[in-house]
Amino acid sequence: MAPRYDQPERGPEKLSEILAKLFVARGWGQRTARRELDDAWMAVVAGVVSEAAARRTMPGNPKRGTLEVVVDGAALLAELSSFHKDALLAGLNGRLKGTRITALRFRAGKISAGKGPADNKGDAR
């Protein structure tokens, strides 16, 4: 008699498969990566520019190697994009383990406490 391929194997499921499904279902991997990106960004900006400048910026989600950063204020936006872009990019890639950032893109926006970058999409000045 030939084996049936439409029925799953019987028996216990591997623990690694259970944990992988749990991480995906709960989104824990994304939260950890997001926290790592936020912490790395704040440390790099504080080290390159200042602590006050770090509080006036918010990184978005990297897409195809480009990190979009919301900046509160035109003067700070001009300073970051003109003078500190290369140092920020090098520092960020030195701190991040799994994500490789190839470019930084800055845009003006309002930074509110407790809001994520996705919430600031319509706040461009």
Nearest to residue 8, comparing CAs of 54, 17, 52? 17
Tell me if 73 sits within 8 A of 56, measured CB to CB: yes
The predicted pLDDT at position 118 comes to 43
| CATH label of the domain that carries residue 94 | 3.30.300.180
Mark 81-93 as b/e (b = at least 16 C-beta within 10 Å). Answer: beebbeebbebbe
Residue appearing with tokens 């194997």 = 9
CB within 8 Å of 81: residues ≥ 6 apart: 104, 106
> Residue ranges of the alpha helices (H) in 27-99?
28-48, 51-55, 74-79, 85-95
The pLDDT of residue 114 is 57
CB 40 within 8 A of CB 54: no
Q: What is the DSSP letter of 121?
A: T
What's the mean pLDDT when you consider all of the chain? 84
pTM of the full structure: 0.69
In tens, the pLDDT along 42-97 reads: 999 999 999 999 999 999 989 999 999 999 999 999 999 999 999 999 999 999 98
Q: Which two tokens stand for residue 28?
A: 């824990």
pLDDT value at 124 more than 90? no
Domain count within the chain? 1
Does some domain include residue 58?
Answer: yes
> Where does the pLDDT of residue 117 fall: very low under 50, low under 70, confident under 90, or very high at 90 and above?
very low
Domain contains 47: yes
Containing structural domain, residue 48? 26-116
* Contact present, 103 and 62 (Cβ < 8 Å): no
**Residue 106 domain-assigned (yes or no):** yes
Supply the pLDDT for residue 19. 84
86 within domain boundaries: yes
Residue 112 domain-assigned?
yes
